């Protein structure tokens, strides 16, 4: 932004600040009306601020030449960045491929599914014959609440029913997130979005 040019409500940073301010005012109003702190906070969706996972979701500085809407996964940091533009991104904690199952590359999101079914690939069944051949979507499903399919690979960015796995190299190559984070990301990402895994 050029020096001396005022920011407007169209600016993402100002919109974010106004959203936080409005949410804070609503919480104060709810508390003043007699609602308990937990009830007051539960009334509002604080969007991209915080998460239930071990690595908090946050808006962070993210310099680079990435187009808004790009997903960048830094496997050594166990972080996924959704680029929002203006040098910022939303940072999420992730679980990544364990030793021998890590990968790097550039692909696109080719499909999205809510509460997806899981059919373990044949390679996984050879390693783990104890796994079910198919599992319907739901709370017990290892793909969690949402899945975004990466190119023509077997890999997905998906939720997890094992939040303790976030921040670790534990998967067979998929990118895992806690369910509230994957729902947040799913709602932001269109089919065709670029995914960079490094």
The per-residue pLDDT for 49 is: 60
Please indicate, yes or no, whether residues 66 and 25 belong to a single structural domain of this protein.
no
Question: Is 182 a residue whose pLDDT tops 60?
Answer: yes
Check 25, 134, 158, 168 and give the catalytic one. Answer: 158
Judge contact between 143 and 183, C-beta under 8 A: no
Check 25, 134, 168, 174 and give the catalytic one. Answer: 174
Structure tokens at 158: 């998906």
The answer to whether residue 134 is catalytic is no
Please indicate, yes or no, whether residues 123 and 139 belong to a single structural domain of this protein.
yes
The per-residue pLDDT for 50 is: 65
Mean of pLDDT over the chain: 82
The answer to whether residue 174 is catalytic is yes
Please indicate, yes or no, whether residues 34 and 58 belong to a single structural domain of this protein.
no
Across 111-125, average pLDDT: 92
Please indicate, yes or no, whether residues 93 and 156 belong to a single structural domain of this protein.
yes
Please indicate, yes or no, whether residues 12 and 106 belong to a single structural domain of this protein.
no
The per-residue pLDDT for 148 is: 98
Of the ranges 41-45, 58-62, 176-180, which one carries the lowest mean pLDDT score?
A: 41-45
Print the domain residue range for 172: 48-197
The per-residue pLDDT for 161 is: 86
Across 149-160, average pLDDT: 95
pTM of the complete model: 0.73
Please indicate, yes or no, whether residues 84 and 121 belong to a single structural domain of this protein.
yes
What are the pLDDT digits (tens) for 10-29?
Answer: 544 444 444 444 445 544 44
Neighbour-count burial for 92-128, b at 16+ CB within 10 Å, e otherwise: bbbbbbeeeeeeeeebebeebeeebebebeeeeeeee
Is the backbone of residue 157 left (phi > 0), alpha (psi -120 to 50) or beta? beta
Please indicate, yes or no, whether residues 67 and 23 belong to a single structural domain of this protein.
no
């Amino acid at each position: 932004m050029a020096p001396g040019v005022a920011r407007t409500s169209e600016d993402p940073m100002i919109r974010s600040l106004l959203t936080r301010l409005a949410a804070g005012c609503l919480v104060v109003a709810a508390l003043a009306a007699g609602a308990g702190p937990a009830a007051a906070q539960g009334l509002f969706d604080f969007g991209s601020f915080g998460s239930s996972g071990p690595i908090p979701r946050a808006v962070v500085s993210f310099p680079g030449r990435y187009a808004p809407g790009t997903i960048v996964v830094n496997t050594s940091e166990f972080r996924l960045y959704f680029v929002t533009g203006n040098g910022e991104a939303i940072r999420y904690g992730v679980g990544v491929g364990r030793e021998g199952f890590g990968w790097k590359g550039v692909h696109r999101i080719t499909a999205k599914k809510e509460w997806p079914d899981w059919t373990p690939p044949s390679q996984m069944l050879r390693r783990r014959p104890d796994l079910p051949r198919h599992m319907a979507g739901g709370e017990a499903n290892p793909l969690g609440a949402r899945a975004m399919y990466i190119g023509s690979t077997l890999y997905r960015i998906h939720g997890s029913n094992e939040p303790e796995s976030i921040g670790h190299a534990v998967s067979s190559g998929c990118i895992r997130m806690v369910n509230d984070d994957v729902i947040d990301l799913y709602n932001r990402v269109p089919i065709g979005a670029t995914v960079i895994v490094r």
